[in-house]
Structure 1
Amino acid sequence: MNSNSEIKALLEKFILNQCTAEETEQIIAYCRENNLTEDFPTVDEVKNLLIEMPKMDEQKADSIFNTILSASKEQETVIELQPRKSNYRKYISIAASVVVLLGIGFFYKQNMANKAVEQKFDFKSSDIVLQLENGETQIISENNSSNVKDAKGNIVGNQNGDKLVYGNGSDSEKLVYNTIKIPYGKKFRLQLSDGTFVHLNSGTTLKYPVKFIAGENRQVFLDGEAFFDVAKDKKHPFIVNADELNVRVLGTHFNVSNYPEDAATDVVLVEGSVGMYQSNEEFDASKNIILKPGFKGSFNRENAKISTKAVITDIYTSWIDGGLTFRNMTFRNIITKLERRYNVTIINKNEKLASEKFNASFKDESIENVMSYFNDIHGINYTIKNNQILIK
C-alpha cells in the first residue's frame, strides 16, 4: 500500500468484510508495520467488545488469529517497544486492532445486509408483507392478485386475494427463504411448494423455503399461530421450529401457537401424530413426546418441560373461522390477544383486573360484542372511541 488513498480504500474494503485472503494479510501487515496499536483496547475491553460482537466463523477466526500471532512473533526483533510495554501487551494490542476492525466489519456488514430483514415489523399496520430472499419486501393486497419472483425473475408463486400458492417448478438446488408477516386484524392462507397448506393467524410471522430440497427436512420457522395441513412425505419430515421447540411430522393436521406473551408454546393435534422436542436436540422417537390426536402438548418456556392433556381440538382451531377462545387466561393476556385480533389499542387502568383469569368462547364476533360480554358477565367498565378501548 503505497498511498493514503490506497490505504483508505483497502481499510474501507476490510471494514465491509470484502477483502481477499491476500488483502487481509496486507491489513495485518499494515497494522503491524505502522504501529497502529497505541490507543487500542485492553484485554478486558476486547473481551467485553467480543461479547457484544456477532460471532465469526470459527475456522476463519482461528486462521486470522494464528496469522496475527505468527506476525507478532516475526516482528519481536524489529519493533522497538516503549518503556513499560511488554511483548505480550504488544501482541494483544495488535490483536485488538484487528479484532476491532474485523468486529466493525462484521457488525457493519451484518447490519447493512440484514437492515431490511431485521427491521421490526409493525403488526398494527394494515399491510400483509412478504419479504423475499434478497431482503426486498412486497405488499400483498387481499383485493388484488400478484406474482412472487425469485432473484432471477422467475415466477415462483401466485397470490390471489388472501391466498398465496408456491409451485414446485423452481430449479433451485439450495434453500431460499421467503418470510410472510400478517398484521393485527388479518388472517392469511399459504400453500407451500410441497402442497402443505398453512392458515396464518393475525400477528404471525412465518419463514419458509420457496422450494423444499430433496434429501433435506422440510423446515419452517414460526412466530405466532398457524394451522398446518402437511402434505405426506415419509422421506422428508416436516418440522415447525417455534423458537426453543421443534414439532416434527410426516403428514398431518395440527395447530401451533407460539406468541411471545404466552408462558408456553402449545401444539394441538387434530389428525396423525407429531413429535415434540427441544430445537437444540435431535429427534428420537423413543425419548421425545409423541402427541396423539385430540391432545395438546405444551412446552413450558421457563423450565423447558413438555406436558400433554386431552382437549377439544375445535376450541383451539376455531380461530380459522373467526372464533376466539380463552381458557384460564389472565385478563392481561386477553387484552394482548384482543388487540392482535381486532387491531385495537386497549388501555387498562384497572390493575386488579389484569391478573384475574377468565374462560370465554366467541364465534365471529365484533370487538363491541366481546367487550359487552365482559361488561355483562364480569362488570368491566369501559369506553370505545375509534380504535381505542379504555377500561376504567
Structure 2
Amino acid sequence: MHDKDTIKELLLNYFKGSVSVIQKKWIDDWVNESLENEEVFYSYLEEWERKNPQYLTDTEQALVTFRNKSESGISQKIGSGSSLKPQKRRALKLFLVASLTLFGLLFLGTFDKVTVKTYNTGYGEMITITLYDGTIVHLNANSELKTPRFALFSNSRKVELLGEASFNVTHDPINKFIVHTMNGLDVIVHGTEFTVYNRRHNTEVQLKSGKVELIKHNANGDESVLMKPGEKVRMEIDGVLQKEKVKAPEDIASWTQYRYVFDQTSLIEIARIISDNYGVEVEISGDSIGKRTLSGSFRSEDAKEFAEAVAQVLGISLVIEKKRFRFAKMD
C-alpha cells in the first residue's frame, strides 16, 4: 500500500469522498508521519482540484438546489393523492408554510439576517468560535466574523472577516473553506491553520500549516497566489501582493494567548495594534521616534500595560489622558 501509485489512487478517492473509515484513518496517520507526506498530500490535492473545480460560492445556486430538493419532495408526496394520512398531510402543510415563509423573508430583504450569524468582539476582547463543521476560529479584538447559520444555504464553507482571526480548519475533501475579506482578497483552503489580518490599513495572511490559495479579485481578472507553511502574504492599499518567509512560524497567532511578538517592528505599527485592539487614540510626537523599532515578545491583556512596556523598552515617555496615549521623547 505504500508504493507511490497506490497512495495517489487512494488519495484521489479520498478527495472524492469515496474511501472507507479504515482507509481515512490510514491516510490521516500517514499525513501526520512527516512533512514529506504532507507535501505529497497537498500536491495531489492541488492536482485533483484543478481537474475538479469546487470554487462555487454563489448563494443563488444554493437556493436553486434547495428549491429543486423542495419541489422534488413535494411532488413525491402529492403524487399519492388522497392516500396521504392526516399526519403526513399536516407535515406537508407545515413544510409548504415554512418554504413560503423562507422565500418571503428573502424578498422582504431579511434573508441574510436569518441565514447569516454574526460574531463581534469589543476592544480588548477575544472569543473562540466553533463552527458547524468543527472549524475553530479565534476572533481578535475589534473584529467581526459572518458565518452561515445553516449548512443548507452554502455549497462551500464561506465566512466574511473584518478585523483579525486565526483559523484551524476542519478538513473536508469536497467543500472548500473560504475567508472573504473586505479588500477583495479570498483565502481558499480545505484544512489547515492560518491567520488573516484584514483592517483598514492592509490585509495579511500567515500560514502555519497546510496550504492555502489566495484569490485577489481585480477589474482585469483574478490573481492567484499559493502559500506554503511558514509564509505570509501582505496586500497593501495599492493591491500589490508581497510574499515573504515568517522567521518564527510557531509564533503565528501568538496574540490568541495575549502574547505579542515583534521583529524590528516600528513604533508606528505598534501604535496601530494598540489602537485597533484596545480602541484608544495613539499619538506619536516626532517622526524620529515613530521609526524606532522593537524586537522581542511579552504578554499583556491591558492597553496601559502594553503601552508602558513599549515605552520602557524604546526609552521614550508615555502620557495617558483618558483614551489617548501619547508617545514622546524623554525630556
What TM-score comes out, normalization by structure 2 length? 0.58
**1:276 to 2:214 alignment:** yes
1:187 is aligned, of 97, 109, 126, to: 126
235-244 or 311-320: which moved more?
311-320
Structure 1 residue ranges without an equivalent (≥5)? 1-112, 118-131, 135-149, 151-175
Measured after TM superposition, the shift of residue 208 of structure 1 is 1.4
Looking at structure 2, the residues matched to 366 and 193 of structure 1 have their Cα atoms a distance apart, in angstroms, of 32
Q: How many matched pairs?
A: 220
Counterparts in 2 of 1:215 and 1:320: CA distance versus 1, 3 Å: closer
Query: Which residue pairs with 1:254 in the alignment?
Result: 194
Relative to total residues, which structure has the larger helix share, 1 or 2? 2
Query: Which residue pairs with 2:254 in the alignment?
Result: 318
Looking at structure 1, the residues matched to 326 and 294 of structure 2 have their Cα atoms a distance apart, in angstroms, of 19
Measured after TM superposition, the shift of residue 204 of structure 1 is 0.9
Counterparts in 2 of 1:366 and 1:303: CA distance versus 1, 3 Å: closer
2:185 is aligned, of 245, 257, 264, to: 245
Measured after TM superposition, the shift of residue 300 of structure 1 is 3.7
Measured after TM superposition, the shift of residue 371 of structure 1 is 3.1
Do 2:187 and 2:215's aligned partners in 1 also have CA atoms closer than 8 Å? yes
Measured after TM superposition, the shift of residue 327 of structure 1 is 3.6
AA at the equivalent of 1:250: H
Query: Which residue pairs with 1:24 in the alignment?
Result: none
Counterparts in 2 of 1:272 and 1:183: CA distance versus 1, 3 Å: same
Looking at structure 1, the residues matched to 326 and 209 of structure 2 have their Cα atoms a distance apart, in angstroms, of 41
Three-state SS of the structure 1 residue aligned to 2:238 is coil
**1:200 to 2:139 alignment:** yes
Looking at structure 1, the residues matched to 171 and 301 of structure 2 have their Cα atoms a distance apart, in angstroms, of 35
Query: Which residue pairs with 1:375 in the alignment?
Result: 311
Query: Which residue pairs with 2:57 in the alignment?
Result: none
Looking at structure 2, the residues matched to 316 and 349 of structure 1 have their Cα atoms a distance apart, in angstroms, of 31
Offset from partner CA, 1:185-204 (integer Å, 9 cap, x none): 10111122222111000111
Which 4+ residue blocks in structure 1 deviate beyond 6 angstroms?
none
Measured after TM superposition, the shift of residue 247 of structure 1 is 0.8
Do 1:347 and 1:391's aligned partners in 2 also have CA atoms closer than 8 Å? yes
Counterparts in 2 of 1:295 and 1:351: CA distance versus 1, 3 Å: closer
2:241 is aligned, of 305, 309, 321, to: 305
Three-state SS of the structure 2 residue aligned to 1:302 is coil
Measured after TM superposition, the shift of residue 217 of structure 1 is 1.6
Measured after TM superposition, the shift of residue 306 of structure 1 is 4.0
Do 1:289 and 1:306's aligned partners in 2 also have CA atoms closer than 8 Å? no
Three-state SS of the structure 1 residue aligned to 2:311 is helix
Measured after TM superposition, the shift of residue 351 of structure 1 is 4.3
Query: Which residue pairs with 2:171 in the alignment?
Result: 232
Measured after TM superposition, the shift of residue 228 of structure 1 is 0.7
Structure 2 residue ranges without an equivalent (≥5)? 1-107
Query: Which residue pairs with 2:272 in the alignment?
Result: 336
Counterparts in 2 of 1:209 and 1:269: CA distance versus 1, 3 Å: same
**1:347 to 2:290 alignment:** no
Offset from partner CA, 1:207-236 (integer Å, 9 cap, x none): 111122377121111111101111111111
Looking at structure 2, the residues matched to 261 and 316 of structure 1 have their Cα atoms a distance apart, in angstroms, of 19
Measured after TM superposition, the shift of residue 310 of structure 1 is 4.0
Do 2:139 and 2:164's aligned partners in 1 also have CA atoms closer than 8 Å? yes
Structure showing greater relative contact order (alpha-carbon pairs closer than 8 Å, 6 or more residues apart): 2
Looking at structure 2, the residues matched to 295 and 206 of structure 1 have their Cα atoms a distance apart, in angstroms, of 24
Looking at structure 2, the residues matched to 214 and 244 of structure 1 have their Cα atoms a distance apart, in angstroms, of 22
AA at the equivalent of 2:144: T
Looking at structure 2, the residues matched to 227 and 344 of structure 1 have their Cα atoms a distance apart, in angstroms, of 23
AA at the equivalent of 1:315: D
Measured after TM superposition, the shift of residue 254 of structure 1 is 1.0
Query: Which residue pairs with 1:389 in the alignment?
Result: 325
Query: Which residue pairs with 1:170 in the alignment?
Result: none
Identity, % of aligned positions: 26
AA at the equivalent of 1:274: V
Do 1:349 and 1:391's aligned partners in 2 also have CA atoms closer than 8 Å? yes
Measured after TM superposition, the shift of residue 317 of structure 1 is 1.0
Three-state SS of the structure 2 residue aligned to 1:247 is strand
Looking at structure 2, the residues matched to 273 and 290 of structure 1 have their Cα atoms a distance apart, in angstroms, of 7
Do 1:192 and 1:210's aligned partners in 2 also have CA atoms closer than 8 Å? no
Offset from partner CA, 1:157-192 (integer Å, 9 cap, x none): xxxxxxxxxxxxxxxxxxx21222212110111122
Looking at structure 2, the residues matched to 266 and 185 of structure 1 have their Cα atoms a distance apart, in angstroms, of 21
Looking at structure 1, the residues matched to 255 and 185 of structure 2 have their Cα atoms a distance apart, in angstroms, of 22
What TM-score comes out, normalization by structure 1 length? 0.50
Query: Which residue pairs with 1:267 in the alignment?
Result: 205
Highest CA radius of gyration, 1 or 2? 1
